[in-house]
Structure 1
Amino acid sequence: MNNMTETNAAGVSAGGFSGWAPIEKSSSQRSQANIIDYDRVCREFSWDAARSQLSGLPNGGVNIAWEAVDRHLGSPTAGVVALRWLRADGQVVEYTYAALAAATNRFANVLRDNGMRVGDRVGVLLGRTPELYIAVLGALKAGCVVSPLFSAFGPEPVRQRLAIAEAAAVVTTAALYRRKIAPIREEVPTLRTVLLTDGGPDGVDLPAAMAAADDHCAPAPTGPEDPALLHFTSGTTGKPKGALHVHGAVLAHRITAGYALDLRAGDVFWCTADPGWVTGMSYGVIAPLCLGATVISDESEFDAKRWYRILDEQRVSVWYTAPTALRMLMRMGDRPPDGTDLSALRFVTSVGEPLNPEVVVWGEHALGHPVHDNWWQTETGAIMIANLAATQVRPGSMGRPLPGIEATTLRRGPDGRAAVTDGAVTSAEPSEVGELALRPGWPSMFRTYWGEPHRYAQCFAGGWYLSGDLARRDTDGYYWFVGRADDVIKSAGHLVGPFEVESTLLEHPAVAEAGVIGTPDPVAGELVKAFVLLRPGYEATEELRADLLAFSRKALGAVAPKTIEFTAALPHTRSGKVMRRLLKARELDLPEGDVSTLEGPS
């Protein structure tokens, strides 16, 4: 097997592969965390026992909306603010749990009045507004399958997803309908109903229908294996994949939010991810409501000063955001704007792409807390591996598997994926690069790719779910991301993880962000090339290029980039990931594949 080079593996004995010193937690931080004794909880945990935390439908069964909203009725939490929506113009709109229950009941009744049946797919194409939360939870309550859609999608990505889902209805605004759905509606023959949150002639006038609807609604008698959510994830070359999740996934949402986000009743929680993406749905909508927290939802896009003001004025206690956003805040310096009060903030965590070590350490100085990385996928439905509130943080590591999750790294074949021989696989040794794999059985594991059972079957081998991500595991069980199997660069006998090279470049004071790819070379196979976005105040000169090359060679040795190209922007998904495959496609003039989740206007 080819392992990472000695240069890249250095620092294991110091607490990890990155070479950054571990961050220890104070006794106060440890004692107040939701999970204190990690090893004991892992030994004793079982999903069957954890199910006692669910309320369950009155007549049996499980429904996500019931667990998120209705379970709180008749308790003191009914009067607690469930959703606090921050409008772009500064106004604030609030819904208590009781008010949210009534609104979602009305919406469920509207769906039923318009012929929606249990199992019908309902697309939700809305920005971050209260109507989005009401539509999602109301549709789940009615037993429909919700397919969240980015409001910034263009007509073609919307068409693809609605057509694959065979959607019966879509909830949107009049403006979004005219721009994104009307041009493609004839190509989605299953689409019977359009519900418009601001009314209009093109569909059901939702405000009027909601006003006339009953605010009492018996939830559909769904069970734990009934379909609930259809999340789409981009394909590298072809159409997007629809990962189907069930109502029983709510148990994993609830449990992992408590463990990985240290979330609890009474918290003010802000997840900055758009609910059109799985993080924004699992942890921006479902999990915090299940636990009785107050959810902050901001209508506006990223603005550093506004975000600091929200953390301060809303007294956010738990914050879940993306590495890209944190790196943009880093550009403002090592401290928040003068007068910013972050004393309410207790826990900071991040997902979307691997978290560079310097961002973890910056968080401790600027926010008062290290940023806690975690790892999961659309397919897993919930957080699988995380840095916890009570345990040591190793900058650059995504942490350890949560209780109830069995993970490993598998030895790889020539194609970089797990080697399967006669249906069997072999675990990699500690510090060896392998494909990250999980033992199936957690409640939020996707149940299929919609309409593509053969594609789904290819995700499993030897009793493991194969993630497609490459990672290393240190001797203490911490996992370290290397890259997607199709991102890793093979150069002159070395396996180069682009994330590790990017993290090294970010340690240079001139670098705001970096994206690394491999380019063909007749001798080495591939050469490492870096695209670098500079911090304000630095100019893209040949002297700076030479300095960056020397800086990276000193840190990385033979696997350092051979060429550096300065760029004004890097392509990101809306969830914050640098789209390395898009950088490579543009560099080599290859097909770009599915770019529907790319940032930018549409």
Structure 2
Amino acid sequence: CRSFMILVTLKLLWTLKPPCRTFHRHPRLLVSDVHSQYESVRRGEQEIPKYFNFASDVLDKWSEIEKAGRKPTNSAFWWISGNGEEVKWSFEELGFLSRKVANVLTKVCGLQKGDRVIVVLPRIPEWWLVNVACIRAGIVLIPGTSQLSAKDILYRLQASKAKCIITNDTLAPAVDSVASECQFLENKLVVSKGSREGWLNFNELYKNQPADHSCVKTRIQDSMVIFFTSGTTGSPKMTEHSQGSLGFRPLLCERYWLDTSPSDTVWGITDTGWIVTSLASLFDAWALGSCVFVHQLPQIEPSVILNTLCRFPIDTMISAPTLYRMLVQADLSSYKFMNLKHCMSGGEPLNPEVIDQWKSKTGLDIHEVYGQTEAVGIICSVSKGMKIKPGSMGKAAPPFDVQVVDKNANILPPGQQGEIAVRSKPVRPLGLFTEYVDNPKKTTESERGDFYITGDRGTMDEDGYFWFIGRDDDIIISSGYRIGPFEVESALIEHPAVAETAVVSSPDPLRGEVVKAFVVLSDAFSSSDCESLTRDLQEHVKKTTAPYKYPRKVEFVRELPKTITGKIKRNELRAKEWGQM
């Protein structure tokens, strides 16, 4: 009888609380599992490690936590096509597949540590696999927006001396048209379901590779990613980031700007060529063990964005202000977001009225972030829990000491306008770019005194909040894209109708600002048919350079304002556009 009672009791206990083979710790504690080994570095008690690799020291650590059953049942990567296709990977699966891709790059293509690869792909899973594979192999990845023209690709291949390019069927013809001029290019990989003459098929190759690749040993200062900036008075510069600046940095700032956990899902709605995609949808999200959500989005449509937020458990969303301007124009009362609780905006200033409209229609705040390619994307941010001051881009984001300085690099008091700068001496902070590759002059010019100068003007208030005023140079920021006028002017001047031209920013209610071209016509052309000539010039620029750079506004003028030495006064034209004179 006693034995029977014991059995009944055990069965009852089993029913009430069955034994569980997996035990999930609190998400914050899980993050500590990965970050704890660097706690002494964060406190300044120990120096930054000499060797570090994001794939082995972060991604593989999350894979081990998964295998031990201690991570919430949340994927590492979740991709949807919008047409019913779906891909989900755990950290273990991400590791397995990325090792296969690393073998393609090293064994098939013969690439070695330090070699450079240009990757121009839309929002498809292969982009993430190639990124992780390059990190594993110590190969330097150079991302590019999928809107690059043949001329853009040629410049990037020649300037970077890349030995390999990876793209899809859409851009492969553009690569083929310039490949003969690229002496360093040895391999062309196409992400395609079919074969293409002269190209290696990425999909077929990686599926047939073994998954036993050993991660290379990389130093923390080794080059990991190179981003091309927008040119101002010249061609785009190559901005180099190391294993430390992109991979190790988020480990020292546990909460940081993204502030997510292993149970969160993050959706970054930005182009794969932007540094913010590398941060929000790769390094910073995965450093915190979060799930990276991706929608292929061949085109940005507000209804698709809103329906996705309703259908999927997305906790955090980050996008350019243009998207929020589009979304607030919709009838948001008919949408109920499943999980969304944290919204972020970056790439350009967001209008305070849009922040107010989003708040009133959804109950959610928009947290602004401000940054540059040179400073790992995020220099200032409005983090969770911070008071939101509409129009402000927040406070300095770790690990940066951000100040407003004058032309002599003296720190200015609150309220006084100057240049936004990041302290770079005596110790260069992790997150700041290493250099402009092959351009020591520009690297030197970017610093003044103890600071890296961003080229943006602004103020800081008494509470430490920064306020953006405008660019110190001629960069145009439209829908989050940074466009250098030099490239647009160079494209326009090739047209036989253009004798002279100047390109500046012009205000736009949806995109913040757009490209406007002032054009002096050649003698053989007349502005009598303005509409036809404008369309012709716009189409010419779209074909010559990336489509997003074309001038949405064109004004024909008799002459351009110039200095005594003959330089065009872009600042005067820009001031006129913005009603400042």
State TM-score, norm by structure 1. 0.70
Q: Could you tell me which residue of structure 1 aligns to residue 266 of structure 2? A: 269
| CA distance, structure 1, for counterparts of residue 44 and residue 550 of structure 2 | 39
Q: Could you tell me which residue of structure 1 aligns to residue 296 of structure 2? A: 299
Query: Which residue identity lines up with residue 351 of structure 2 in the other structure?
Result: N
| CA distance, structure 2, for counterparts of residue 84 and residue 177 of structure 1 | 27
User: Which residue among 82, 92, 95 is the counterpart of 2:89?
Assistant: 95
- Give CA-to-partner distance per residue, 1:6-38, whole Å, 9 cap, x none: xxxxxxxxxxxxxxxxxxxxxxxxxx999xxxx
Contact 1:164–1:450 (CA under 8 A) maintained in structure 2? no
Contact 1:63–1:224 (CA under 8 A) maintained in structure 2? yes
Taking the TM superposition and a 5 Å limit, the aligned residue runs for 1:102-121 are 102-113=96-107, 114-121=109-116
Q: Number of paired residues?
A: 463
Deviation at 1:252, TM superposition (A): 2.3
Q: Could you tell me which residue of structure 2 aligns to residue 377 of structure 1? A: 372
SS in 2 for 1:265: coil
Contact 1:252–1:442 (CA under 8 A) maintained in structure 2? no
User: Identity, % of aligned pairs?
Assistant: 25
SS in 1 for 2:226: strand
Deviation at 1:529, TM superposition (A): 10
Query: Which residue identity lines up with residue 419 of structure 2 in the other structure?
Result: E
SS in 2 for 1:403: coil
Shift in alpha-carbon separation, 1:119–1:592, aligned structure 2, 3 A = farther
User: Which residue among 47, 55, 61 is the counterpart of 1:65?
Assistant: 55
Contact 2:253–2:399 (CA under 8 A) maintained in structure 1? no
- Give CA-to-partner distance per residue, 1:237-278, whole Å, 9 cap, x none: 321111000001212245568321222211110001112111
| CA distance, structure 2, for counterparts of residue 232 and residue 78 of structure 1 | 37
Shift in alpha-carbon separation, 1:382–1:50, aligned structure 2, 3 A = farther
| RMSD after superposition | 3.7
- Give CA-to-partner distance per residue, 1:530-561, whole Å, 9 cap, x none: 645589xxxxxxxxxxxxxxxxxxxxxxxxxx
Shift in alpha-carbon separation, 1:227–1:387, aligned structure 2, 3 A = same
| CA distance, structure 2, for counterparts of residue 391 and residue 105 of structure 1 | 41
Q: Could you tell me which residue of structure 1 aligns to residue 153 of structure 2? A: 158
| CA distance, structure 2, for counterparts of residue 355 and residue 167 of structure 1 | 37
Q: Is 1:237 aligned to residue 224 of structure 2?
A: no
Deviation at 1:52, TM superposition (A): 9.2
Query: Which residue identity lines up with residue 268 of structure 1 in the other structure?
Result: T
Deviation at 1:429, TM superposition (A): 2.1
SS in 2 for 1:274: coil
Query: Which residue identity lines up with residue 409 of structure 1 in the other structure?
Result: V
Taking the TM superposition and a 5 Å limit, the aligned residue runs for 1:216-365 are 216-249=212-245, 250-254=247-251, 258-300=255-297, 301-333=299-331, 336-338=332-334, 340-365=335-360
Q: Could you tell me which residue of structure 2 aligns to residue 544 of structure 1? A: none
Contact 1:252–1:382 (CA under 8 A) maintained in structure 2? no
Q: Is 1:436 aligned to residue 436 of structure 2?
A: no
| CA distance, structure 1, for counterparts of residue 343 and residue 72 of structure 2 | 27
Range with bigger deviation, 280-289 or 229-238 = 280-289
SS in 2 for 1:379: helix
| CA distance, structure 2, for counterparts of residue 383 and residue 136 of structure 1 | 20
User: Which residue among 45, 65, 75 is the counterpart of 1:75?
Assistant: 65
Query: Which residue identity lines up with residue 311 of structure 1 in the other structure?
Result: L
User: Which residue among 464, 468, 480 is the counterpart of 2:455?
Assistant: 468
Shift in alpha-carbon separation, 1:345–1:67, aligned structure 2, 3 A = farther
Contact 1:68–1:287 (CA under 8 A) maintained in structure 2? no
| CA distance, structure 1, for counterparts of residue 263 and residue 43 of structure 2 | 24
- Structure 1 unmatched ranges of 5 or more: 1-31, 35-44, 412-418, 489-497, 503-516, 518-527, 536-566, 594-602
User: Which residue among 483, 486, 491 is the counterpart of 2:473?
Assistant: 486
Taking the TM superposition and a 5 Å limit, the aligned residue runs for 1:174-185 are 174-178=169-173, 180-185=174-179
User: Which residue among 190, 202, 208 is the counterpart of 1:206?
Assistant: 202
Taking the TM superposition and a 5 Å limit, the aligned residue runs for 1:116-135 are 116-135=111-130
| CA distance, structure 2, for counterparts of residue 371 and residue 33 of structure 1 | 24
Deviation at 1:48, TM superposition (A): 4.2
Contact 1:253–1:283 (CA under 8 A) maintained in structure 2? no
| CA distance, structure 1, for counterparts of residue 205 and residue 569 of structure 2 | 43
Shift in alpha-carbon separation, 1:375–1:585, aligned structure 2, 3 A = farther
Contact 1:398–1:478 (CA under 8 A) maintained in structure 2? yes
Contact 2:241–2:433 (CA under 8 A) maintained in structure 1? yes
SS in 1 for 2:468: strand
Contact 1:109–1:214 (CA under 8 A) maintained in structure 2? yes
Shift in alpha-carbon separation, 1:242–1:532, aligned structure 2, 3 A = closer
SS in 1 for 2:300: coil
State TM-score, norm by structure 2. 0.73
Deviation at 1:581, TM superposition (A): 10
SS in 2 for 1:260: coil
Q: State which structure, 1 or 2, has the greater radius of gyration over its C-alpha atoms.
A: 2
- Structure 2 unmatched ranges of 5 or more: 1-25, 29-38, 479-484, 486-503, 512-533, 543-547, 562-567, 571-581
Range with bigger deviation, 202-211 or 92-101 = 202-211
| CA distance, structure 2, for counterparts of residue 214 and residue 71 of structure 1 | 21
- Give CA-to-partner distance per residue, 1:90-125, whole Å, 9 cap, x none: 322212211111110001111111210100001111
- Give CA-to-partner distance per residue, 1:38-78, whole Å, 9 cap, x none: xxxxxxx9964389999x8xxx7211233452221221249
Contact 1:487–1:581 (CA under 8 A) maintained in structure 2? no
Q: Could you tell me which residue of structure 1 aligns to residue 22 of structure 2? A: none
Contact 1:252–1:444 (CA under 8 A) maintained in structure 2? yes
Deviation at 1:128, TM superposition (A): 0.7
| CA distance, structure 2, for counterparts of residue 353 and residue 529 of structure 1 | 13
Query: Which residue identity lines up with residue 414 of structure 2 in the other structure?
Result: P
Deviation at 1:382, TM superposition (A): 3.7
